[in-house]
């Protein structure tokens, strides 16, 4: 098991009250990183110097009687697909190795403004494409609970960093489950907010209509706090919703009395490990005994989620990743002509999984195939949204496993993309619908490894989702 | 290659015009939209296509697009931005954000000065690319030693205006572009400068035998940099196609490059090997659905447009529509209307505006002074020549036409004085007078010239001619 320190709210409270310094908090976490990072490889890049400067600034503010903000002195780790000014942002790809953005992502700016201290950039599957963090060009991250196992992915570095106590908070991005699945496998809380509630400005795009940034934390309350800090309208993102993030913290203790909870039938049978399904049932019982009305509900279209996702996400990716051509930034492989230079650069710069998805997406958008593939996938997407709408007409939140299994051994699925893709079967439909969902640690499976329960909600349904998560968290105490 | 037999062949022309919109910033970012500047200075993360950058639509560009759409009698509709995917070094994201299935403006028309209506299929928003300079190897990308990319222009808002194939001659095509440019300038959407590339014309040309129901295979001509080139390129391309067909060959659909130096079009690429652009809706942008009340506000704020101004002038002055084109183009229609309203003779007013007011300062002419001048001429106090001179001075310095005429000594000649002068000349030149009496019209100028010389231009040529005729007996 991993050892984590105090949670973010406790740290911020102590720093704001002058009981602890941000510098002291930072050194404690840097110490934990020094002890275990070589073994886990959660980070692509550490920013100790900048972190020490940021911590000193927080301490100076406190000393001057100012409030550095709700995350005062809290170390955070950032997925390495979030742009950080002057700090390498690689997406774990050779093609961007060494590239430093000239600007910060909106979420990075908002975290800093709230007093958080960024400690480094975390490992991921290249361009967030994968479910194990084994697709990183810089080597895999290992699960802090069992280093022979994967941490999940694609935000495996961010999940492992929180699970290992390297930072009480981290940010990831979730296109098809890339926050929730590694959260489940690493035994931490992971949230994918409603599409549009957190700005994507400065998030290196994978599947733009699916990508959403969210937090990893050790507690539900910490995750809520991060959502409140990073969420809300941003004029720099045209898909950003014109509203603030719903206030969560005041509702965390509201309980679930009378809340209508549906367990998704399609996600409890075939393909789901029985020990994982058992934990979900146990979570449902806990909610029922806390006063919720729990029943099974069918959301038929979710069974088509995976197929639709593997057309929509690669199609968008094939276009989003076209800009990596060696002309303006990133690595370049020289060749006699511009076209050959682009080809050589992309051949050398992208890994196999990225190439596979670019090819899939290019094919799906091709003239003559668009209607059969991309067009049809968009129709499935509508069906999934409609089926969810029907379920939410009579339920406030839904429940399912986050991942079909607990953490699997490194190398177990890396040569079999289709098996790997099945890891996200429970998480993908939410992205297609644009809804929020989160993973809450709920005990362990037969192998003693963490199991996550997924709480799903309709668009802007974060309050009910967090209330449910808080009750689940409390039921384990 | 020779001119084609227009009795047998019909040329069909459709134009695609790209107009750079006169916004302060680019279509999707705050980088400046300015012509020129040191290479790669009008840039920002989005212009460079940096990872993580996102487009945010420029509202002013949308307003300008709506203005143009309304001015072209289009329906302004809900529209969607799509990505057109292709790799090119001066295309920073390797896709261009454009409008594909749902453009902002559809189904309009414009009216040429001749009164001919030309259909507009669509006018959609898109972003411009950067500029490549290929160094070595004759300036073409394939043989170049290296290429330089300037992204100052990348992301500049363009309105692509796709005309229907309603044009039949190079002259009509030129008139269409002139009219379109006048509209763009009138509504403030673009500066319309072809030489700076803010107006770029691609031209689709096909030929068919007269009476044929089907259109012929078309070729698209690029790199047309002036109105003159447009006419030349069309004439060349139509003749080339007719020659092919006449020789038993067929026209291949392709994109051709106009070469100003040799006056020919050259194969650029065949459509049969064209790229698949893999269009799909851009997930970084939302549907553009302008509020109807916004569209109405834009409509109400539109200035009077060239066609309407031509009609108004023609009706008010009672002249043919064609005669108003140049006057409206020079922006002198308001002046003419005001002068006529102040009592000036309409026909004389129009003639002066068309022939004697090419000076740009003419627009500032005082309509009352202009009307007074026309009145003096029509009333016989000034000759046509004198009126022209006074008008020129009015344009240059302003003032009162009566005072200017007096200062110049332009007093109407006494009838008796003129009669004496003419009779004297007849007596002095009996041979010439005999020829005049025999009906030799050419000799009229001899006598008029003598009178003008003697009077230092004060005499009215028409009056002299009338006097000569009356003396014939």
Please check whether residue A32 lies inside any domain of the structure.
yes
Best CA proximity match to A181, nearest among A159, A161, A201, A198: A159
- Indicate whether B281 and B171 sit together in one domain: yes
Find the closest chain B residue to A338 by CA distance: B89
Please check whether residue B317 lies inside any domain of the structure.
yes
Please check whether residue B1 lies inside any domain of the structure.
no
Which of B31, B43, B51 to mutate to test binding with chain A, by most A CBs within 10 Å of its CB? B51
Integer Rg of chain B from CA: 29
How much is the average pLDDT of B80-101? 96
Boundary-marking domain end, from B268, B300, B332: B300
Would an 8 Å CB–CB cutoff place B135 in contact with chain A? Answer: no
Lowest-pLDDT range, A72-81, A421-430, B403-412?
A: B403-412
- Indicate whether B162 and B134 sit together in one domain: yes
Would an 8 Å CB–CB cutoff place A311 in contact with chain B? Answer: no
Predicted pLDDT at B413: 65
Please check whether residue A134 lies inside any domain of the structure.
yes
Boundary-marking domain end, from B300, B335, B363: B300
Best CA proximity match to B11, nearest among B253, B209, B291, B274: B209
- Indicate whether B182 and B75 sit together in one domain: yes
Please check whether residue A459 lies inside any domain of the structure.
no
Please check whether residue B292 lies inside any domain of the structure.
yes
B94·A323 Cβ contact <8 A: yes
Please check whether residue B102 lies inside any domain of the structure.
yes
Q: Calculate helix-pair angle for B333-341, B346-355, nearest 10 degrees.
A: 150
- Closest to A322 (Cβ–Cβ): which among B85, B141, B142? B85
Lowest-pLDDT range, A8-22, B65-79, B151-165, B422-436?
A: B422-436
The H or E element that residue A411 is part of is none
Number of domains composing chain B: 3
Please check whether residue A264 lies inside any domain of the structure.
no
- How far is it, in rounded angstroms, from Cα B389 to Cα B408? 10
Residues of B with CB below 8 A from A327's CB?
89, 92, 149
Q: Work out the mean pLDDT of chain B and round it to a whole number.
A: 92
Q: For A448-477, what is each residue's pLDDT tens digit?
A: 999 999 999 999 999 999 999 999 999 998
Would an 8 Å CB–CB cutoff place A203 in contact with chain B? Answer: yes
Residues of B with CB below 8 A from A318's CB?
85, 278
- Indicate whether B18 and B121 sit together in one domain: yes
pLDDT at residue B412 tops 80: no
- Indicate whether B457 and B323 sit together in one domain: no
Which residues pair with residue A299 across a beta bridge?
A: none
Q: For B269-313, what is each residue's pLDDT tens digit?
A: 765 556 799 999 999 999 999 999 999 999 999 999 999 999 999
Please check whether residue A113 lies inside any domain of the structure.
yes
Would an 8 Å CB–CB cutoff place B283 in contact with chain A? Answer: yes
Contacts of A415 (CB under 8 A, 6+ apart): none
Predicted pLDDT at B1: 46
- To the nearest whole percent, how much of chain B has pLDDT over 70? 96
Would an 8 Å CB–CB cutoff place A375 in contact with chain B? Answer: no
- How far is it, in rounded angstroms, from Cα B228 to Cα A320? 42
A322·B50 Cβ contact <8 A: no
Contacts of A85 (CB under 8 A, 6+ apart): A100, A101, A102, A103, A104
Owning domain of residue B465: 415-470
A238·B56 Cβ contact <8 A: yes
Please check whether residue A451 lies inside any domain of the structure.
no
B280·A362 Cβ contact <8 A: no
Length of chain A: 477
Would an 8 Å CB–CB cutoff place B89 in contact with chain A? Answer: yes
pLDDT at residue A88 tops 90: yes
How much is the average pLDDT of B347-356? 93
- How far is it, in rounded angstroms, from Cα B4 to Cα A177? 67
- Indicate whether B125 and B253 sit together in one domain: yes
Number of domains composing chain A: 1
Please check whether residue B278 lies inside any domain of the structure.
yes
- How far is it, in rounded angstroms, from Cα B95 to Cα A63? 51
Query: B448: pLDDT confidence band, cut at 50, 70 and 90?
Result: confident
- Indicate whether B271 and B390 sit together in one domain: no
- Indicate whether B463 and B362 sit together in one domain: no
B87·A322 Cβ contact <8 A: yes
Would an 8 Å CB–CB cutoff place A337 in contact with chain B? Answer: yes
Predicted pLDDT at A323: 98
pTM of the model: 0.91
B50·A201 Cβ contact <8 A: no
- How far is it, in rounded angstroms, from Cα A427 to Cα A398? 12
Q: For A308-341, what is each residue's pLDDT tens digit?
A: 999 999 999 999 999 999 999 999 999 988 889 9
A328·B45 Cβ contact <8 A: no
- How far is it, in rounded angstroms, from Cα B103 to Cα A393? 36
Q: Calculate helix-pair angle for B170-186, B227-246, nearest 10 degrees.
A: 150
Q: For A103-148, what is each residue's pLDDT tens digit?
A: 999 999 999 999 999 999 999 999 999 999 999 999 999 999 999 9
Residue A446 falls in which region: left (phi positive, over 0), alpha (psi -120 to 50) or beta: alpha
Q: What is the domain-level CATH number for residue A35?
A: 3.90.1300.10
Query: B64: pLDDT confidence band, cut at 50, 70 and 90?
Result: very high
Q: Work out the mean pLDDT of chain A and round it to a whole number.
A: 96
**Contact predicate A182/A175, CB 8 Å:** no
- C-alpha of A220 from chain center: 15
- Indicate whether B316 and B449 sit together in one domain: no
- Indicate whether B317 and B169 sit together in one domain: no
Predicted pLDDT at B452: 83
Question: How far apart are the CA of A77 and the nearest CA of chain B, in angstroms?
Answer: 18
Find the closest chain A residue to B51 by CA distance: A204
- CA B90 to each of CA A140, A397, B87, B125, B130: distance values in angstroms, whole numbers, following the listed order: 36, 49, 9, 19, 5
Query: A1: pLDDT confidence band, cut at 50, 70 and 90?
Result: very low
Indicate the DSSP class of residue B363. G
Please check whether residue B2 lies inside any domain of the structure.
no
- Indicate whether B83 and B99 sit together in one domain: yes
Q: Residue B116 burial by CB count (10 A; 0-12/13-18/19+): exposed, middle or buried?
A: middle
Q: Residue B7 burial by CB count (10 A; 0-12/13-18/19+): exposed, middle or buried?
A: exposed
- CA B438 to each of CA A124, A279, A464, B426, B449: distance values in angstroms, whole numbers, following the listed order: 106, 124, 111, 14, 19
Best CA proximity match to A163, nearest among A146, A138, A139: A146
- Indicate whether B323 and B217 sit together in one domain: no
Which of A319, A339, A358, A374 to mutate to test binding with chain B, by most B CBs within 10 Å of its CB? A319
Q: For B242-269, what is each residue's pLDDT tens digit?
A: 999 999 999 999 999 999 889 999 988 7
Predicted pLDDT at B143: 73
Give the 3-state secondary structure of residue B227: helix
Would an 8 Å CB–CB cutoff place B55 in contact with chain A? Answer: yes
Contacts of B407 (CB under 8 A, 6+ apart): none
Which residues pair with residue B131 across a beta bridge?
A: B150
Find the closest chain B residue to A91 by CA distance: B51
- How far is it, in rounded angstroms, from Cα B340 to Cα B367? 9
Q: For A32-87, what is each residue's pLDDT tens digit?
A: 999 999 999 999 999 999 999 999 999 999 999 999 999 999 999 999 999 999 99
Lowest-pLDDT range, B18-27, B109-118, B134-143?
A: B134-143
Would an 8 Å CB–CB cutoff place B315 in contact with chain A? Answer: no
Q: Which residues of A are catalytic?
A: 79, 154, 178
Give the 3-state secondary structure of residue A427: coil
Would an 8 Å CB–CB cutoff place A334 in contact with chain B? Answer: no
Owning domain of residue A56: 8-251
The H or E element that residue A458 is part of is none
Q: What is the domain-level CATH number for residue B458?
A: 1.10.10.410
- CA B158 to each of CA A320, A423, B34, B124, B255: distance values in angstroms, whole numbers, following the listed order: 22, 45, 13, 8, 21
Please check whether residue A211 lies inside any domain of the structure.
yes
* b/e B162-184 (16+ beta carbons within 10 angstroms → b): bbebbbebbebbbbbbbbbbbbb
- How far is it, in rounded angstroms, from Cα B252 to Cα B233? 17
Residues of B with CB below 8 A from A337's CB?
141-142
A328·B54 Cβ contact <8 A: no
- How far is it, in rounded angstroms, from Cα A13 to Cα A22? 11
- C-alpha of B139 from chain center: 31
């Amino acid at each position: 098991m991993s050892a984590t320190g105090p949670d973010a709210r406790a740290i911020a409270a102590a720093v704001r009250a002058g009981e602890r310094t941000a510098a002291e908090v930072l050194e404690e976490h840097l110490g934990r990183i020094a002890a275990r990072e070589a073994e886990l490889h959660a980070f692509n890049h550490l920013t100790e110097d900048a972190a020490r400067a940021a911590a000193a600034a927080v301490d100076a503010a406190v000393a001057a009687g100012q409030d550095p903000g709700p995350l005062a002195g809290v170390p955070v780790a950032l997925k390495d697909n979030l742009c950080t000014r002057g700090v390498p942002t690689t997406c774990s790809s050779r093609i961007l190795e060494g590239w430093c953005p000239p600007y910060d992502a909106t979420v990075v700016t908002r975290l800093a403004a709230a007093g958080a201290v960024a400690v480094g950039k975390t490992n991921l599957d290249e361009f967030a494409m994968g479910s194990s963090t084994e697709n990183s060009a810089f080597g895999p991250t290992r699960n802090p609970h069992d280093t022979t196992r994967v941490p999940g992915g694609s935000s495996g570095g961010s999940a492992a960093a929180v699970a290992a106590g390297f930072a009480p908070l981290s940010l990831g991005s979730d296109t098809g489950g890339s926050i929730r699945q590694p959260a489940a496998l690493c035994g931490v809380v992971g949230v994918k907010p409603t599409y549009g509630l957190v700005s994507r400005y400065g998030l290196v795009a994978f599947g733009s209509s699916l990508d959403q940034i969210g937090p990893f934390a050790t507690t539900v309350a910490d995750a809520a706090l991060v959502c409140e800090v990073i969420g809300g309208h941003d004029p720099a993102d045209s898909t950003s919703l014109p509203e603030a993030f719903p206030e969560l913290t005041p509702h965390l203790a509201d309980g679930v009395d009378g809340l209508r909870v549906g367990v998704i039938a399609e996600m409890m049978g075939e393909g789901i490990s029985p020990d994982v399904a058992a934990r979900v049932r146990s979570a449902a019982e806990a909610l029922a005994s806390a006063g919720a009305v729990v029943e099974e509900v069918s959301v038929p279209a979710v069974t088509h989620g995976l197929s639709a996702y593997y057309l929509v996400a690669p199609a968008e990716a094939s276009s989003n990743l076209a800009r990596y051509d060696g002309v303006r930034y990133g690595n370049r492989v020289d060749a006699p002509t511009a076209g050959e230079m682009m080809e050589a650069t992309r051949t050398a710069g992208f890994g196999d999984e990225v190439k596979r998805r670019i090819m899939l997406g290019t094919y799906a958008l091709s003239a003559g195939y668009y209607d059969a593939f991309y067009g049809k996938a968009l129709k499935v997407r509508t069906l999934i949204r409609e089926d969810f709408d029907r379920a939410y007409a009579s339920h406030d939140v839904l429940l399912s496993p986050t991942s079909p299994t607990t953490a699997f051994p490194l190398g177990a699925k890396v040569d079999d993309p289709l098996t790997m893709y099945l890891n996200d079967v429970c998480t993908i439909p939410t992205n297609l619908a644009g809804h929020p969902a989160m993973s809450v640690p709920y005990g362990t499976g037969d192998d003693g490894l963490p199991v996550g329960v997924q709480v799903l909600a309709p668009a802007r349904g974060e309050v009910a989702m967090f209330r449910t998560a808080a009750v689940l968290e409390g039921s384990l105490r | 290659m020779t001119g084609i037999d227009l009795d047998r062949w019909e040329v069909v022309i459709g134009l695609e015009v790209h107009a750079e919109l006169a916004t302060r910033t680019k279509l999707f970012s705050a980088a400046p939209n300015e012509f020129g500047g040191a290479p790669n200075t009008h840039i920002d993360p989005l212009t460079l296509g940096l990872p993580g950058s996102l487009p945010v639509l420029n509202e002013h560009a949308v307003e300008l697009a709506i203005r143009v759409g309304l001015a072209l009698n289009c329906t302004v509709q809900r529209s969607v931005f799509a990505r057109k995917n292709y790799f090119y070094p001066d295309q920073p994201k390797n896709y261009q954000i454009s409008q594909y299935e749902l453009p902002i403006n559809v189904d309009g028309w414009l009216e040429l000065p001749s009164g001919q209506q030309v259909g507009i299929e669509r006018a959609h928003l898109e972003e411009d690319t950067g500029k490549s300079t290929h160094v070595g190897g004759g300036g073409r990308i394939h043989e170049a030693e290296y290429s330089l990319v300037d992204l100052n222009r990348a992301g500049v808002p363009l309105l692509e205006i796709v005309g229907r194939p309603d044009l039949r001659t190079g002259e009509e095509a030129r008139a269409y572009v002139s009219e379109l440019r006048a509209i763009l300038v009138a509504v403030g959407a673009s500066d319309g400068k072809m030489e700076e590339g803010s107006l770029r014309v691609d031209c689709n040309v096909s030929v068919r035998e007269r009476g044929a129901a089907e259109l012929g295979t078309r070729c698209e001509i690029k790199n047309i940099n002036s109105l003159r080139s447009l006419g030349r390129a069309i004439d060349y391309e139509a003749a080339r196609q007719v020659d092919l067909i006449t020789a038993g060959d067929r026209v291949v659909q392709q994109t051709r490059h106009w070469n100003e130096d040799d006056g020919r079009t050259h194969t650029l690429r065949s459509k049969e090997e064209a790229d698949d652009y893999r269009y799909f809706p851009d997930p970084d942008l939302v549907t553009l659905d302008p509020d109807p009340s916004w569209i109405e506000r834009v409509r109400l704020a539109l200035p009077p447009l060239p066609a309407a101004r031509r009609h108004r002038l023609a009706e008010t002055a009672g002249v043919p529509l064609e005669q108003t084109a140049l006057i409206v183009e020079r922006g002198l229609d308001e002046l003419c209307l005001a002068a006529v309203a102040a009592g000036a003779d309409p026909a004389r007013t129009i003639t002066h505006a068309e022939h004697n007011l090419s000076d740009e300062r003419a627009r500032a002419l005082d309509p009352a002074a202009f009307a007074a001048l026309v009145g003096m001429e029509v009333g016989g106090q000034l000759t046509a020549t004198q009126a022209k001179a006074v008008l020129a001075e009015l344009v240059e310095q302003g003032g009162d036409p009566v005072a200017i005429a007096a200062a110049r000594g332009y007093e109407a000649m006494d009838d008796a004085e003129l009669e004496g002068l003419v009779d004297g000349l007849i007596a002095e030149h009996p041979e010439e007078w005999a020829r005049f009496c025999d009906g030799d019209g050419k000799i009229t100028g001899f006598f008029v010239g003598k009178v003008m010389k003697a009077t230092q231009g004060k005499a009215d040529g028409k009056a002299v001619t009338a006097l000569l005729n009356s003396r014939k007996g």
